[in-house]
Chains A and B, each alone.
Chain A
């Protein structure tokens, strides 16, 4: 077989695979605009009578809109806090020599090996005694720091020339100023990579919010989505509308920040 023909078949196979991969997304959208899907109507590839009924039902009969706001707010807060705390620690690890540095760094790394599931019971008990069950703060507190973020930012800061901070120091800048004005602007890509990663993790987080949040008004999107199943057992148009609402922000983020997202996912694994 000629080389070009083989390459063409190859590409066709990959494209067919991509269509198969994308089909669940397509079917989700189609179902969400097929009023009565699963009950009285069967969705078809080209919806013959598209309607936004399911979205109307979703936002008028449930607190789904509130859940969208909760997820946005929490994810933004987690992102800002984690980027800040991680960058500060990364600065300490990349710019200072101090007793206990090695032990401290080892401790940070060790926390990355501990799965959330192990912390579930004691963390819940801790939040209960602090009176933080069913509060935003209860979700937020355990996600204030990320060892992965520290590790990522430290690597980026290590490649920022020290001459830059020394020059700033000679001009009378303190550490906080050097950190904010000299080092941080030079690690923007790492900051973006980790920031988006933190946002996505928070947006999609399920187990801990499930444990700590009880009332409907406080629920985040994944929780609200999971409870739709109990409420709309066979109204698949409504459930698919909920899925579309939860997927779209990630899709938008992905289109605009594909490079950083892939770096965040791959960068953590590749040396």
Chain B
């Protein structure tokens, strides 16, 4: 999955250049018109190498997914129109609630961990001291490794019988849980591994925001005797709100799409205790031959993500305090 696709969802300012397109009110002569037609043709030639793949492999498939969600389909025999029955079944099926519940559990578990941890790290590593860049580098390192490697490494660390974490726990007299082999601990295991990987990402996003806060502001407040916590509460956090808002949104968007680490760490088990929405979409399609149902479920997921994106676009205008 290309995480970059969602990274950019923050809406950029609309192109102002386009507004200038009809700048000269003069009536175009035949040569001017020909020149403009030529310019247009050249512009579209430059767009074609990216526009054609985006249309063929993103835009068209979205509509095809929507279309498929109204059919019974196993990817082999032709689709059969069944109207809303896929959706009706999804809404009455307990499993839908369960997989969305697990996904929500994942989001609710990782977001606070990465947010609080990332904020603390960003605040700590924004000060100047020797070795700061090395520390930043170490905290960021997990971000560039693949989810699959992270999942396998954590399966080893959290191995119930021979894993290092349970070994240490035993040594201090605690009986470690069964982690990913125990239905009650499978989601927490995934959450711990994911928080470890995402911490540096949140840190970097917040650090970039902290660097835009003028230093004089903090210094003036310090001179006036404002305490650390009050400075954080009344200066830093309000001025950091655009980045905080972005971190929350992007974590929600990425969180609802969680798949790689679940697939590699628990495969959705044990006993389906960690099956998330995308895992279910995958299983429905390639294991149970229910591509129509899978499409309907993916459209539900899409709707959730779209709602979060809309909140983002509105919220950016509304309740974010721009410095």
Are A and B associated in one complex? yes
Residue pairs across A and B with Cβ atoms less than 8 A apart, 5 shown, are: A21-B196, A96-B42, A113-B305, A179-B46, A206-B259
Interface hits, B228-257 → A, CB 8 Å: 242-243, 246-247, 250, 253, 257
A269 to B281, CA, bound (A): 28
Chain A residue contacts of B139, Cβ below 8 A: 17-18, 21
Chain A residue contacts of B21, Cβ below 8 A: 97-99, 101
A80 to B177, CA, bound (A): 47
Chain B residue contacts of A68, Cβ below 8 A: none
Closest CB of chain A to B257's CB: distance in Å?
5
Closest CB of chain A to B279's CB: distance in Å?
10
| CB atoms of A116 and B137 under 8 A apart | no
A170 to B204, CA, bound (A): 44
Interface string of B147-183 (1 = CB under 8 A from A): 1110011111101001010000000000000000000
| CB atoms of B243 and A269 under 8 A apart | yes
Given A27-B157, A117-B257, A270-B209, check contact A147 B301 (CB 8 Å).
Answer: no
Q: Report if B32 contacts A (CB, 8 A).
A: no
Could you tell me which B residues sit within 8 Å of A by CB distance? Answer: 1-15, 17-18, 20-21, 39-40, 42-44, 46-47, 49-51, 53-54, 57-62, 64-65, 68, 75, 121, 124-125, 127, 129, 131, 134-135, 137-149, 152-157, 159, 162, 164, 196, 199-201, 204-205, 207-209, 242-243, 246-247, 250, 253, 257, 259-260, 263-264, 277-278, 281-282, 285-286, 291, 294-295, 298-299, 301-302, 305-306, 309
Q: Which residue of B lies closest to A208 (CB)?
A: B1
A204 to B226, CA, bound (A): 46
Chain B residue contacts of A164, Cβ below 8 A: none
Contact partner, A21, options B46, B58, B199, Cβ 8 Å: B199
Q: Which of B40, B141, B294, B306 has the most CB of A within 10 A?
A: B141
Known: A17-B121, A225-B149. 6 other contacts (CB 8 A): A98-B44, A113-B9, A117-B257, A126-B57, A228-B152, A229-B155
| CB atoms of A269 and B137 under 8 A apart | no
Closest CB of chain B to A256's CB: distance in Å?
12
| CB atoms of A113 and B135 under 8 A apart | no
| CB atoms of B153 and A113 under 8 A apart | no
Q: Report if A5 contacts B (CB, 8 A).
A: no
Given A145-B54, A147-B54, A254-B144, check contact A269 B64 (CB 8 Å).
Answer: no
| CB atoms of A143 and B2 under 8 A apart | yes
| CB atoms of B65 and A119 under 8 A apart | yes
How many chain A residues touch B (CB < 8 A): the figure is: 107
Closest CB of chain B to A245's CB: distance in Å?
9
Q: Report if A167 contacts B (CB, 8 A).
A: no
| CB atoms of A14 and B46 under 8 A apart | no
A6 to B7, CA, bound (A): 37
| CB atoms of B263 and A226 under 8 A apart | yes
* Interface-located stretch among A48-56, A57-65, A85-93, A184-192: A85-93
Q: Report if A218 contacts B (CB, 8 A).
A: no
Chain B residue contacts of A169, Cβ below 8 A: none
Chain A residue contacts of B242, Cβ below 8 A: 271
A201 to B179, CA, bound (A): 29
| CB atoms of A24 and B196 under 8 A apart | yes
| CB atoms of A105 and B205 under 8 A apart | no
A97 to B23, CA, bound (A): 10
Contact partner, A111, options B18, B58, B199, B291, Cβ 8 Å: B58
Given A114-B58, A116-B5, check contact A247 B145 (CB 8 Å).
Answer: yes
Chain A residue contacts of B305, Cβ below 8 A: 113, 115
Q: Which of B14, B49, B64 has the most CB of A within 10 A?
A: B49
Given A22-B138, A148-B4, check contact A89 B51 (CB 8 Å).
Answer: yes
Q: Which 10 A-B pairs have the closest CB atoms?
A: A122-B64, A92-B46, A145-B50, A204-B146, A96-B43, A122-B61, A148-B8, A85-B50, A144-B53, A268-B7
A161 to B310, CA, bound (A): 35
A85 to B162, CA, bound (A): 49
Contact partner, B8, options A99, A122, A145, A151, Cβ 8 Å: A151
Chain A residue contacts of B10, Cβ below 8 A: 268-269, 271
A74 to B64, CA, bound (A): 27
Q: Which residue of A lies closest to B299 (CB)?
A: A118
| CB atoms of B154 and A247 under 8 A apart | no
| CB atoms of A121 and B47 under 8 A apart | no
